[in-house]
Chains A and B, each alone.
Chain A
Amino acid sequence: GDQVEQSPSALSLHEGTGSALRCNFTTTMRAVQWFRKNSRGSLINLFYLASGTKENGRLKSAFDSKERYSTLHIRDAQLEDSGTYFCAAEAYNMGYKLTFGTGTSLLVDP
């Protein structure tokens, strides 16, 4: 069954505001990665977390393996943040392959 549930599926933000994306896992995951699809369709890696939190500029991500979720916070959203964001997780019993969420389509408007 589906192991990664990503929400929301779509999000609209005004420039300068912020919000959070969330992935819930139906099983214990070893690590999580967050990606953003760029204008050429490539998946750009934003974060790799095995635990705790990481921050990079206006993005911050957290991963709680025990509680089975991960979040991606965006603050002070800019127009160029628009795009599709994916979380992907490694399960302990599934080797190193990633199971992806269904994506969040983010639109930042002026």
Chain B
Amino acid sequence: NAGVIQTPRHKVTGKGQEATLWCEPISGHSAVFWYRQTIVQGLEFLTYFRNQAPIDDSGMPKERFSAQMPNQSHSTLKIQSTQPQDSAVYLCASSLGPGDSGNTLYFGEGSRLIVV
């Protein structure tokens, strides 16, 4: 069990550029979550998918941020026209799915995005 795999681990991008982050959930897990961690805001929910379908994107900034899950083995978080305030550690997590302890989340190591 390789755990949740996130790439890249670190990314430095210039203001206005696009950044795409990838997540490979644990095989067999039906739910994938994206969170963002900053010193000021702590851990913030962004969006989640179940069985590849978007369920809740209430935490996503309405402009510039988008997430997709084209197949069961990976999800992407794309940030267009990056801004310095987008700098954060972006965390992906997966879970078996709702049910008794089924929503136990397993996190990846995160992608640290720095916008300069």
Interface residues of A (CB under 8 A from B): 31, 33, 35, 40-45, 48, 50, 86, 88, 90, 95-100, 102-103
B42 at the interface (CB under 8 A from A): yes
B86 at the interface (CB under 8 A from A): no
With A41-B109, A41-B110, A86-B43 given, is the CB distance from A96 to B31 under 8 Å?
yes
Please give, as numbers and ranges, the residues of chain B lying within 8 Å of A41 by CB-CB distance. Answer: 89, 109-110
B48–A96 touching, CB < 8 Å: yes
Please give, as numbers and ranges, the residues of chain A lying within 8 Å of B110 by CB-CB distance. Answer: 41-42
A95–B56 touching, CB < 8 Å: yes
A97–B33 touching, CB < 8 Å: yes
B interface residue count range (under 10 / 10 to 19 / 20 to 34 / 35 or more): 20 to 34
B77 to chain A, nearest CB (A): 15
Nearest A residue (CB) for B31: A96
A-contact bits for B44-69, CB 8 A (1 contact / 0 none): 11001000000110110000000000
Task: List 21 A-B pairs, Cβ < 8 Å.
Answer: A33-B104, A33-B105, A40-B109, A41-B89, A42-B108, A45-B104, A45-B105, A45-B106, A48-B103, A88-B43, A95-B55, A96-B31, A96-B48, A96-B55, A97-B33, A97-B45, A97-B48, A98-B105, A100-B35, A100-B44, A103-B42
Contacts A88-B43, A100-B35 supplied; 20 other A-B pairs, CB < 8 Å: A33-B104, A40-B109, A41-B109, A41-B110, A42-B107, A42-B108, A43-B105, A45-B105, A45-B107, A50-B100, A88-B105, A95-B48, A95-B56, A96-B31, A96-B48, A97-B48, A97-B56, A97-B58, A98-B33, A103-B42
